[in-house]
């Protein structure tokens, strides 16, 4: 069923009895051409583009919980393509271009809002680093503007400029960045894939791999054995565990990242703002709540909840930037499990196990990547060759030394 003004009017006049479920809650079949493990944003987007762009429709997405229950429904919804390094920038810009046409493409309101992403700088050295990043973006045809202090003040007069411990000197602005409603992105991709014949199977955990002559030919699940021509892993924070079932040890650690939402207030924050002297980022949801976050908790965990030390650290960042935030009440907080890679950049590649493909290592930033990640993973699964914009995201770069270390932090997942 297509959403349009006409379908809305028709349903309004007929008592809203004709709406169909957003996607088909399928039971697993015995075999598929492609099985995707993980019904998060990346798994669903992969299935959508496999069906839509590559004509491969005999596909199942196997999700151990429910659609939207993982990181895709837990993130702070920021989308942007303000990257420095050649391996990353074209890929994230491809994602941004897909975001810009996404709602028309999958005929679903994902509330994509290009309200701007502003990274604040607080020192001359940080200004120079942002100028370099902004120039790298422009060389790749991506929009960026370096604002001085007055430029930032005009956009966000409520920030502390004068008596702060880390006075704001300016900011790097990407106007095309912004936010998207995270769970609607999952639902939109699920709907688009399901409409094209993909089976979305919830409550179906993959517990092992079926192997014949060294090749994976299927998966064992809590709902029986399913054979597959090819298998794609897109399980985010569970990547090491699922890969371990195939005998692979990945350069990935799982860490908790928390997010916070305040009570709703009148419109205050124009876009996304990040603090440059600590790890704190904030935006305002369309319902009025301030949505913010900071660092990962800093220890390995598979628990979807964090601890109080990071709550305090995040709130300190907020107070340093805009002390009036201290008068707000916190409504909710939650955690998600991040697949932190050793260089902070993702992996979209074949694995050494024949028939098994990997999409992982998204760290803090995988939501904004969702459309391009799905597109490029579908390309790899369909054609057995990497998409040009994702060609650097190889698994063997950790052996060869061709790392994509955007932050220059070294092999320290807790610092990426
Ligand atoms: C608090 C927080 C804030 C964030 N903020 C941002 C942000 O502002 N911008 C941004 O770009 N990124 C952000 N991220 C990161 C982003 O959300 C993730 O990188 C991205 O969602 C990961 O990809 P995914 O959507 O496919 O993951 P998920 O939604 O986690 O999908 C993986 C799925 O695999 C399933 N699974 C795991 N094991 C199995 C199994 N054995 N069998 C079957 N299914 C399995 C899981 O249940 C899960 O549903 C944030 C993350 C968190 C937690």
Whole-number Å distance, alpha carbon 213 to ligand 1 midpoint, is 32
Q: Is the pTM of this model over 0.85?
A: yes
Tell whether 200 and 186 lie within a shared domain: yes
Render the burial of 76-104: b for 16+ CB within 10 Å, e for the rest. bbbbbbbbbbebbbbbbbbbbebbeebbe
Q: Which atom of ligand 1 is nearest to the CA of 205?
A: 42
Give the model confidence (pLDDT) of 317-356 as tens digits.
999 999 999 999 999 999 999 999 999 999 999 999 999 9
The total of structural domains in the chain comes to 2
Tell whether 156 and 272 lie within a shared domain: yes
pLDDT of residue 148: 97
Whole-number Å distance, alpha carbon 194 to ligand 1 midpoint, is 20
Boundary-marking domain end, from 315, 341, 367: 341
pLDDT of residue 412: 86
Boundary-marking domain end, from 341, 368, 386: 341
Structure tokens at 198: 């993909």
Low-confidence ranges of the chain (pLDDT < 50): none
Number of Cβ atoms within 10 Å of the Cβ of 125: 9
Tell whether 279 and 213 lie within a shared domain: no
Tell whether 24 and 99 lie within a shared domain: yes
In the block, which residue shows the tokens 């004068």? 162
pLDDT of residue 415: 82
Site to probe by mutation for ligand 1, drawn from 28, 177, 366 as the one with most ligand atoms within 8 Å of Cβ, is 366
Cα diameter, the chain: 68
Site to probe by mutation for ligand 1, drawn from 70, 188, 332, 340 as the one with most ligand atoms within 8 Å of Cβ, is 70
Whole-number Å distance, alpha carbon 278 to ligand 1 midpoint, is 24
DSSP-based three-state secondary structure for 147:
strand
CATH code (residue 285):
3.30.9.10
Give the model confidence (pLDDT) of 334-343 as tens digits.
999 999 999 9
pLDDT of residue 350: 98
Whole-number Å distance, alpha carbon 44 to ligand 1 midpoint, is 11
Tell whether 258 and 288 lie within a shared domain: yes
Q: Report CA 12 to chain centroid distance, whole Å.
A: 35
Whole-number Å distance, alpha carbon 403 to ligand 1 midpoint, is 23
Q: What is the spatial distance between Cα 76 and Cα 293, in angstroms, rounded to a whole number? A: 7
Whole-number Å distance, alpha carbon 273 to ligand 1 midpoint, is 22
Q: What is the spatial distance between Cα 271 and Cα 77, in angstroms, rounded to a whole number? A: 12
Q: Whose CA is nearest to atom 18 of ligand 1?
A: 366
In the block, which residue shows the tokens 């503007």? 145
Tell whether 386 and 353 lie within a shared domain: yes
Tell whether 174 and 270 lie within a shared domain: yes
Q: What is the spatial distance between Cα 408 and Cα 270, in angstroms, rounded to a whole number? A: 30
Whole-number Å distance, alpha carbon 37 to ligand 1 midpoint, is 12
Q: Whose CA is nearest to atom 9 of ligand 1?
A: 78
Tell whether 20 and 156 lie within a shared domain: no
The ligand 1 site (C-beta within 6 Å) comprises: 37-43, 62-65, 69-72, 74-78, 205-206, 234-238, 242, 257-259, 293, 336, 362, 364-368
Tell whether 333 and 384 lie within a shared domain: no
Boundary-marking domain end, from 280, 313, 341: 341
Q: What is the spatial distance between Cα 251 and Cα 91, in angstroms, rounded to a whole number? A: 21
Whole-number Å distance, alpha carbon 154 to ligand 1 midpoint, is 35
Q: Which atom of ligand 1 is nearest to the CA of 78?
A: 8
């Amino acid at each position: 069923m297509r959403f349009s003004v006409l379908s809305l009017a028709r349903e309004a006049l007929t008592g809203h009895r004709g709406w169909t479920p957003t996607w088909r809650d399928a039971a697993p079949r015995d075999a598929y051409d492609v099985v995707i493990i993980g019904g998060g944003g990346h798994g669903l987007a992969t299935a959508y583009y496999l069906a839509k762009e590559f004509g491969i429709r005999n596909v199942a997405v196997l999700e151990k919980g429910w659609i939207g229950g993982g990181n895709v429904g837990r993130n702070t919804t920021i989308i942007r393509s303000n990257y420095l390094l050649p391996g990353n920038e074209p890929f994230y810009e491809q994602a941004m271009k897909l975001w810009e046409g996404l709602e028309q493409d999958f005929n679903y309101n994902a509330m994509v809002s290009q309200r701007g992403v502003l990274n604040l700088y607080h020192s001359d050295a940080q200004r120079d680093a942002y100028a370099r990043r902004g120039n790298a973006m422009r060389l790749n045809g991506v929009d960026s503007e370096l604002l001085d202090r007055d430029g930032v003040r005009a956009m966000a007069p409520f920030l502390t400029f004068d008596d702060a411990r880390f006075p704001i000197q300016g900011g790097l602005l990407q106007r095309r960045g912004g936010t998207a409603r995270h769970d609607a992105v999952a639902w939109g991709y699920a709907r688009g894939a399901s409409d094209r014949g993909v089976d979305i199977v919830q409550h179906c955990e993959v517990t092992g791999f079926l192997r014949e002559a060294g090749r994976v030919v299927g998966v064992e699940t809590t709902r029986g054995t399913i054979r597959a021509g090819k298998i794609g892993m897109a399980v985010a924070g569970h990547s090491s565990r699922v890969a371990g079932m195939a005998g692979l040890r990945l350069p990935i650690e799982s860490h908790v990242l928390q997010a916070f939402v305040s009570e709703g207030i009148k419109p205050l924050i124009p876009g996304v703002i990040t603090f440059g002297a600590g790890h704190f980022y904030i935006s305002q949801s369309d319902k009025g709540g301030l949505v913010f976050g900071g660092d990962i908790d800093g220890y390995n965990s598979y628990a979807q909840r964090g601890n109080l030390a990071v709550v305090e650290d995040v709130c300190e960042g907020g107070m340093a930037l805009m002390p009036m935030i201290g008068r707000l009440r916190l409504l909710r907080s939650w955690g998600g499990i991040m697949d932190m890679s050793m260089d902070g950049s993702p992996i979209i590649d074949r694995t050494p196990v024949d028939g098994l493909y990997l999409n992982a290592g998204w760290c803090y930033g995988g939501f904004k990547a969702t459309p391009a990640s799905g597109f490029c993973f579908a390309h790899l699964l369909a054609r057995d060759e990497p998409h040009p914009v994702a060609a650097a995201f190889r698994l063997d770069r950790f052996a060869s030394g061709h790392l994509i270390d955007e932050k220059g932090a070294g092999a320290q997942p807790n610092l990426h």
